[in-house]
Amino acid sequence: MEEGSLVQYFVEGECEKKFIEVLKTEMQLVYPGKVSVFNVAQKVIPRAMLMNLRPNTTVVLIFDTDVINHKILASNLEQLKKAKNVKEVLTIPQVKNLEDELVRSCNIRRITDLLGTTSVREFKVEFIRISNLSNKLISKGFDINKLWIGEAAGNTMIIENNSVNVKKLAE
């Protein structure tokens, strides 16, 4: 992906949206683009959503692999690849979910260690509310090179991991 390309991220939930916003703006570790919450592994992309994409857009799908509807995901991939205004479709499977990705890419044992919360539910609420997420990530040794590197194992369809095309990797 080139600098200045039109990018549309579709992410599973509000936590992923917040995370991508911080990665692209404050930390400048992924390519800039619009971020929308839409679970492509659970819901069929509406035709209107496809029509609203600007010409020559790279679509990045970020989704958890712990709960996937392979039929819907395959259908969405097919629809996006056929869409005239879509330049390319990149998939980033989170193994198994965002929390696991954060544990893998930070120096923490449990996801609750990232923000000092007592439960996963509390973590999710605090993650969305926190105003200094980039500082928290940095203080816990966040490494973009360890993010989204897992393979989606045991699935009936092969899901390509295109995270290397989205991350601005540290040299």
Query: What does the pLDDT look like over 90-119, one tens digit per residue?
Result: 999 998 899 999 999 999 999 999 999 999
The answer to the question of residue 1 being in a domain is no
Q: Is the pLDDT score of 154 beyond 80?
A: no
Q: Could you tell me if residue 143 is inside a domain?
A: yes
122 belongs to a structural domain: yes
Q: Rounded to 10 degrees, what is the CA torsion of 20, 25, 28, 31? A: 60
- What proportions of the chain, in percent to the nearest 5, are helix, strand and coil? 35, 15, 45
Q: What is the pLDDT of residue 63?
A: 94
Whole-angstrom distance, CA of residue 141 vs CA of residue 130: 18
Domain that holds residue 147: 6-165
Residue 126: inside a domain: yes
Question: Domains in the chain: how many in total?
Answer: 1
Contact 94/66 with Cβ under 8 angstroms? Answer: no
Rounded CA separation 77/80 (Å): 5
- Is the residue at 157 inside a domain? yes
Question: For residue 170, is it within any domain?
Answer: no
Query: 58 lies in a domain?
Result: yes
**151 has pLDDT over 80:** no
Confidence of residue 160 (pLDDT cuts 50, 70, 90): confident
Q: Is residue 94 part of a domain?
A: yes
Strand partners, 36: 10
